[in-house]
Amino acid sequence: MKWARIRSPWLLHFNTGACNGCDIEVVALLTPRYDVERFGVLLQPSPRHADVLMVTGPVTKQCAPRLRVIYQQMPSPKFVVAIGACACSGGVFRDCYGVYKRLDEVIPVDVYVPGCPPKPEAILQGVIKLLEKLKA
């Protein structure tokens, strides 16, 4: 099971209300230029089939219950990657009344990819760090 999980992580991308800058970079990661599929990565539309949850954007109080439900629907073991400054630290929305300061206040996070927006190379490096974490 561990071998299969390392060789073929299936991703679920969830936008919590971002400006779409990080989303564009995640989509760019899936193009042949960066070829993330060489690591066996596959984008899944359902949380019931995904191993890794990639979250972009600031976590709003309105979106947090949905995010928790999606996280609970994922099979164990499950992993979370926070992509962008908004998911990592709240970004420019940090002191807003309707936004959590960080993603890890809502669900546990395994890897942080900072940047506004982070480049696809940085997101790819975050996925590789997650895979290395799984090997250990």
Write the pLDDT tens digit of every residue in 100-133: 888 999 999 999 999 988 998 999 899 888 888 8
Task: Please tell me the class of the 2-135 domain.
Answer: alpha beta
Residues 6+ apart with CB under 8 A from 38: none
DSSP state of 38: G
Query: 60 φ, ψ to 5°?
Result: -85, 160
Instruction: Name residue, tokens 């439900």.
Output: 69
pLDDT tens track for 10-50: 889 999 887 888 889 888 888 888 888 887 888 888 999 89
Q: Which two tokens stand for residue 48?
A: 């019931």
Question: Do the beta carbons of residue 48 and residue 69 sit within 8 Å?
Answer: no
Peptide bond into 77 cis (omega under 30): yes
DSSP state of 9: P
